[in-house]
Amino acid sequence: MIPAIRQGRSATLAGTLLLGGLAACTSDSTRESGDSREPTESLDVVIVGAGAAGLAAAMDLPGAVVLEADEAPGGRALYSGAVLQFVGTPEQEEAGVVDSVGDAVGDWPTLTGGPATATTERWLTASAAVHDRLGGLGVSFALADPDPLLHRRRLHMIAGEGRALVDALVAALPESVEIRTGTRVTGLRLDGAKVVGVETESGPMDARTVIVATGGFANRADLLARYVTWPAGSWAIGDDPYSEGAALDWALAGGLGVAHPEAVGSNANVIGLAGAAGGATRARNDPWIWVDEAGARFVDESQGWSLTLASSAEAHAPTWAIAASAELEPAVDAADWAAIAPALRCAPAPVALAEALGLDSEAFVDTVAAAASARASGGKDAWGRAAPSLPNLTGELCAFPPGRLASKSFGGLDVDDAGQVRAADGTPIAGLYAAGEAAGMAQPGLGGAWGCDGSLSAVIWSGWQVAATLRE
């Protein structure tokens, strides 16, 4: 049962997406494609993107054709640690973890900065079934370490990480599904409030149904600058080749609805000062602690991957990250160091640094001493941070604002409960659906203000949901 994977032309640069999107959708009622070539094919269901969402949808749509820009299926899941969020699993039961959808909904505002929506609740409720269906495909899970950032051990890790997940999804595709890799879609073809196909580099294609599963926009600096409120120079983008924002380009060019694009999750392993390339400075190993205005710590700063961590710095603002310059300099690239060094606030001893920052000196000295003693103890500190990861705060100390690494987008194409895309005026577009990060993981708003860890289970669920709608 291995699907046909057909190799097409190589992927091109993200820049073509915008031009293609503009050409594909004019604003009049016919929204002609702008490509005078005859459609090369007439297909029933086209899925754009073979990431986790597109693959999940294809699993339940025999005969679908999946158009994938990359040379292989998998998308961002291939890079991910594959930590998924589930409620009510055997792993939780075995570990004696008492959890429920109600608990998760109750945690949501603290976890994500916003209330759980009806879609959040539907996803959390369905999550045990998602877990079981993936288990049936041979995916096995273990509970993630207890999370000090309020996940109540809802996070599950996949053995074999993202690769194992992608392999299981690909292996589960019906034989009649065809994946065409190296095939970039450059725009949607709309006829009024109806999709009629897609544009590709090799010409237009007719399609009765199109599922946009092109992922998010966390790696598109221009779209982020348009939507997020983070100060310029305090954030950076990742370097994986996905999350290029095709869905938003098409929406902006073609009058499709966009919802909650400001809800972007970020990791916190970044220095919030502009490095050589202009964005915030990337750093290795989190060689710092964070302190609040009172000079006290409030979190395990080594959980830099957690979306909740980045936002907890904001909740405790003004927050300073404190590092020894001897440990900080090797953690960043030389060019970035040259760019940020003049902006660091440094002093030869804790008291002098506290005074320069206007912190309570006594509390700050105690904080530094407590971190040193936890480090020496070899155990964990009061926030659960393990000794080896604690910085050695001796010699010259430097302070700087924590920064953000844009990680996942929790807004995107405006879709209804069935995953059907709506125009900017709310009109449903016949035949046009979206799943996964392109639709804010499943539906914009699901992840509150800054998103949540483990949203891959929502991505997969949304692919299955769209397929179920189409099969009805």
Ligand X SMILES: Cc1cc2nc3c(=O)[nH]c(=O)nc-3n(C[C@H](O)[C@H](O)[C@H](O)COP(=O)(O)OP(=O)(O)OC[C@H]3O[C@@H](n4cnc5c(N)ncnc54)[C@H](O)[C@@H]3O)c2cc1C
Residues at the interface with ligand X (CB under 6 A): 17, 48-54, 67-70, 75-77, 79-84, 184-185, 213-215, 238, 240, 242-244, 246, 408, 436-438, 454-456, 459
Which residues, 6 or more positions from 198, have their beta carbon under 8 angstroms from its beta carbon? 46, 48, 67, 185, 187, 188, 189, 204, 205, 207, 210
Dihedral class, residue 345 (left if φ above 0, else alpha if ψ from -120 to 50, else beta): beta
Question: By the 8 A CB rule, do 412 and 216 touch?
Answer: yes
Whichever of 20 and 275 has its CB closer to ligand X, that residue is 20
CB of 138 to ligand X, least distance (A): 19
Q: Which is nearer to ligand X, 381 or 437 (CB)?
A: 437
Tokens 């589930």 belong to 86
Question: Within 10 A of 161 (CB to CB), how many other CB atoms are there?
Answer: 16
Q: Name the residue among 190, 197, 211, 198 with its Cα closest to residue 434.
A: 211
Tell me the residue nearest to ligand X as measured from the CB. 51
Q: Which of 165/397 has CB closer to ligand X?
A: 165
How far apart CA 432 and CA 59 sit, in angstroms, is 18
Q: How far is the CB of 19 from ligand X (least distance, A)?
A: 12
If the CB atoms of residues 243 and 319 are measured against ligand X, the closer one turns out to be 243
Instruction: Give me the amino acid identity at 194.
Output: K
Q: Show Cβ contacts of residue 61 under 8 Å, excluding neighbours closer than 6 positions.
A: 45, 47, 177, 467, 470, 471
Q: State the minimum distance, in angstroms, from the CB of residue 376 to ligand X.
A: 32
**Nearest CB to ligand X, comparing residues 246 and 421:** 246
Query: CB 289 → ligand X: shortest distance, Å?
Result: 24
Cα 52 to Cα 462: distance, rounded to the nearest angstrom: 10
Smallest gap from residue 336 Cβ to ligand X (A): 20
* Nearest approach, Cβ of residue 342 and ligand X (Å): 31
Judged by beta carbon, residue 43 or residue 322, the one nearer ligand X is 43
Query: What letter does residue 395 receive in the DSSP assignment?
Result: S
Which residue stretches of 25-160 are H helix? 52-59, 90-94, 101-112, 118-136
Instruction: Report the nearest approach of ligand X to the CB of residue 373 (Å).
Output: 33
Our CB check for ligand X shows the closer of 53 and 65 to be: 53
